[in-house]
């Protein structure tokens, strides 16, 4: 799991990192750049709105970004990625 608190994959101190992630600023861009540099090229935002999807597109327009808000949008994403 890439933690927004550190911008890296973490396997230790997960409970503390989750607490810090809620209480502190996060490194969202660093997290995304780490994932992209690691070869991840598809991101799916789940929840109302597409704010985070917009951030991802600004960081790297070459990756695929999907937003899932309801069953209809989930079905559309699944048609594309499966």
Q: Which residue has the tokens 């230790």?
A: 12
| Prediction pTM value | 0.86
The whole-angstrom separation of Cα 51 and Cα 81 is 21
**pLDDT tens-digit series, residues 35-64:** 999 999 999 999 999 999 999 999 999 999
DSSP letter for each residue of 15-34: HHHHHHHHHS---HHHHHHH
Between helix 28-37 and helix 51-59 the angle, nearest 10°, is 60
- Residue 7: the pLDDT is 96
In the chain the beta strands, taken as DSSP E runs, fall at: 2-3, 8-9, 42-46, 64-68
- Residue 63: the pLDDT is 98
- Residue 46: the pLDDT is 96
């Amino acid at each position: 799991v890439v933690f927004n608190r550190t911008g890296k994959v973490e396997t230790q101190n997960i409970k503390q990192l989750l607490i810090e992630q809620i209480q502190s600023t996060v490194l969202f861009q660093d997290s995304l750049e780490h994932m992209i540099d690691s070869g991840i090229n598809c991101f799916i935002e789940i929840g109302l709105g597409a704010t985070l999807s917009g951030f991802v597109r600004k960081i790297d327009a070459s990756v695929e970004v999907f937003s899932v808000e309801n069953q209809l949008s989930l079905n559309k994403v699944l048609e594309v990625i499966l």
